Amino acid sequence: MKWHEMTGPEVHELAKTTDLAVLPIGSLETHGPHLPNGSDSFIAERVCELIAEEVPCIVLPTLYYNICAQMKSFPGGAISIPPQVMIQLYDAIFSECARLGFRKIFAAVCHGGSETPVEFLANMVHERATSEVPGKPAKPDYYLFSKTLSPGVAAAKYAKDPVLEVGHGGEIETALNMACRPDLVHMDRVTEDGPTNPRAVSANYHIEWINQVPLAYVGNPHYASLDTADKIMEAVAADFIQAAKEIAAYEIGVDV
């Protein structure tokens, strides 16, 4: 059930049966010469479609715009939005969902780095909800849950690349795109492998993508194959579906 494909009365009726809204979080940024700029967004939308097949919820329109500051040096790909704008946008969207009856929000984070602003917002929402009666649980405007795309053990089972990360533009992300939009994947444009691990230090920092990953992809995208694309997508989505089931069953305000 997609918000933008339903009528107003349909959404209103659905809100009587579920309070869960799911937001596919993607981006617009270059993913190398072989993948579309909307790669993260296509993956996020597919993951949320699979969630909706298993768990009663409403799927919000996919968020293509996001923070892509590290990718701005590449020509032609990124439309990057300032972090503070994104946090305000998330907050506005989620507040509107809550106003219309969906107080549980599940942010399906399929763009690297977006977990941080979402978590920042989760803190903000709780912070402004703490002015309740002492001893009573706070009542935030909405309950924000999030999960970040990770290939996990299951996806790694089907991947050939020894780099077991999603890896920007690498095998797994290429396979995930094959599962969503095979018509937009151009394997003939992969001429060489990208770096295996572009990070020079283990601490958190923003790498210089244009310098350290000049082709805009890491690892070995040529390992991606239509044979395993759907299996990798299913494995990745399984983690989100499990989380969505738990969220749907979670009784607001009652912790175990």
Contacts with Zn ion: how many residues (CB under 5 A)? 2
| Shortest reach from residue 39's CB to Zn ion, in Å | 5
Mapped onto helix, strand or coil, the DSSP state of residue 190 is: coil
Of the two residues 19 and 173, which places its CB atom closer to Zn ion in the complex? Answer: 173
| Shortest reach from residue 238's CB to Zn ion, in Å | 19
Using CB atoms, what's the residue nearest to Zn ion? 40
Point out which span in 37-45, 77-85, 99-107, 151-159 binds Zn ion (CB under 5 A).
Answer: 37-45
Tell me: does residue 45 bind Zn ion (CB under 5 A): no
Of the two residues 65 and 250, which places its CB atom closer to Zn ion in the complex? Answer: 65
Of the two residues 6 and 164, which places its CB atom closer to Zn ion in the complex? Answer: 164
Of the two residues 39 and 148, which places its CB atom closer to Zn ion in the complex? Answer: 39
Among 19, 40, 45, 161, binds Zn ion (CB under 5 A): 40
Of the two residues 174 and 228, which places its CB atom closer to Zn ion in the complex? Answer: 174
- By the criterion CB under 5 A, which residues form the site for Zn ion? 39-40
